[in-house]
């Protein structure tokens, strides 16, 4: 196994943009405003990760 290989299947794919549990379930639990905040933070985080891999010239499958 390579470093990080299979990590997204164990952590819910944190950089994928998908929220677990699904949108409807998490909205019922926390409310739509909180879910919108979580989604916005995830988008910013993915952009930062993309910029980091580009800036550092990391050879990865992102």
Please give the full DSSP string across 10-53, using - where no structure is assigned: HHT-TTSS--SS-HHHHHHHH-HHHHHHHHHHHHHHHHHHHHHH
Please determine, for residue 33, whether its predicted confidence score (pLDDT) is greater than 80.
yes
Count of domains in the chain? Answer: 1
Q: Please check whether residue 37 lies inside any domain of the structure.
A: yes
Q: Which domain holds residue 27?
A: 11-55
Q: Is residue 26 part of a domain?
A: yes
Residue 12 pLDDT > 60: no
pTM of the model: 0.62
Mean pLDDT, the chain, rounded, equals 81
């Amino acid at each position: 196994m390579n470093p990080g290989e299979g990590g997204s299947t164990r952590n819910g794919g944190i950089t994928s943009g998908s929220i677990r549990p699904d949108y409807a379930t998490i909205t019922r639990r926390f409310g739509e405003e909180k879910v919108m905040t979580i989604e916005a933070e995830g988008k910013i985080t993915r952009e930062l990760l993309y910029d980091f891999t580009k800036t550092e010239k990391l050879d990865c499958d992102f």
